[in-house]
Structure 1
Amino acid sequence: MRDEEVPNPASGYTDPIVRDLVAAAFETIRDRYVLARHQIAAAVLDADGRVHLGLHVDAMVGRAAVCAEAGALSAARLVTSASLLAVAAVRFPKPTEPPLARVVPPCGLCRELLLDHAPHISVVLPHPEDPLIPLACLLPHKYVGTKWPAPLTQP
């Protein structure tokens, strides 16, 4: 891919935390992009200031694919039980698209998953003027089952 031609979308953000998360996700996907395999990377910030990375892993059978946010959540939980504060995901362009990487919000499944494990997490949106909002605002009516006690699933 034309790595040097794709600008880092982090440069559009002024908040240093947001900029660092977006930059980490961008650098990860820029370095690991493979057409039809890896197109999105995510970065999750924990309360100890560490950033955990995840990579979208596509599959021939779509349901078997793993989202980058799920990978970053798993990576975080492998090394810490600290609260997860924020998540950013960056989509790298295909060779047939204009050379613009972009911040993308989590899909519905990832919204549910992240809120199950980090009920107070915020998400970076592709709006540099107001980039960080509680993820619960994107999923105001989250599914609440009986598998876990209610306090873990309430934002």
Structure 2
Amino acid sequence: MNGHTLAAGVVFNPNPAGTCPDETAARLVATAYETIRSRYVEGRRQIAAAVLAADGRVFAGVHLEAMVGCYSLCAERAALAQAAIYTDQPLVAMAAVRYPKPSEGGPARIVAPCGGCRELLSDHAPGLRVVVPREGRGLLVPLAELLPDKYVGTKWATTPANYHQ
């Protein structure tokens, strides 16, 4: 077990993968957790994401904070970029984990993608399922549930040829 034993034999596990009843969700959360646990830098990298392709490969990305906040890069976008480089397979599921600052203590936690990431993910992987924190568990939900009124522009056809479905 990767937990820490506390008083009275209670085990505290900082990895939130144990909250996921679904095996895919648990795998992605564990990958995101291990990625950010090993790459965490306070004020610079606090979130990691993992995305699963249809062929079973997982691609990870980390949040990169910038001095000018609008130039920061979300972990979900970094993971999506990794997948775009290394696979043409459809992307099927994603999870992101936030590692606590030393001043916060407590376990890492599953986080839902921000609104901008929801839009970008739906442009490139509209069938994606995303792990979100609900009632103390990490549950896989369709991305479309998190973005019910997606913006539709005129830049490209609804289904471009190089699109991860």
Pick from 71, 74, 92: which aligns with 2:78? 71
Structure 1 residues 4-153: aligned runs within 5 Å: 7-127=14-134, 131-151=139-159
Q: Taking structure 1 as reference, are residues 130 and 95 closer, same or farther at Cα in structure 2, changes over 3 Å only?
A: closer
Q: Taking structure 1 as reference, are residues 129 and 96 closer, same or farther at Cα in structure 2, changes over 3 Å only?
A: closer
Larger radius of gyration: 2
Q: Please, which runs of 5 or more residues in structure 1 have no aligned partner?
A: none
Q: Please, which runs of 5 or more residues in structure 2 have no aligned partner?
A: 5-11
Q: Taking structure 1 as reference, are residues 36 and 6 closer, same or farther at Cα in structure 2, changes over 3 Å only?
A: farther
The structure with the largest helix share of the pair is: 1
Contact 2:21 / 2:138 at 8 angstroms: preserved in 1? no
Contact 2:50 / 2:59 at 8 angstroms: preserved in 1? yes
CA distance in 2: counterparts of 1:129 and 1:8, whole angstroms? 12
The structure with the largest strand share of the pair is: 2
Q: Name the TM-score, length of structure 1 as normaliser.
A: 0.92
Which has the larger displacement, 143-152 or 86-95?
143-152
RMSD: 2.0
CA distance in 1: counterparts of 2:154 and 2:127, whole angstroms? 20
Q: Name the TM-score, length of structure 2 as normaliser.
A: 0.86
* Offset at residue 150 of structure 1 (A): 2.1
The sequence identity of aligned pairs, in percent, is 56
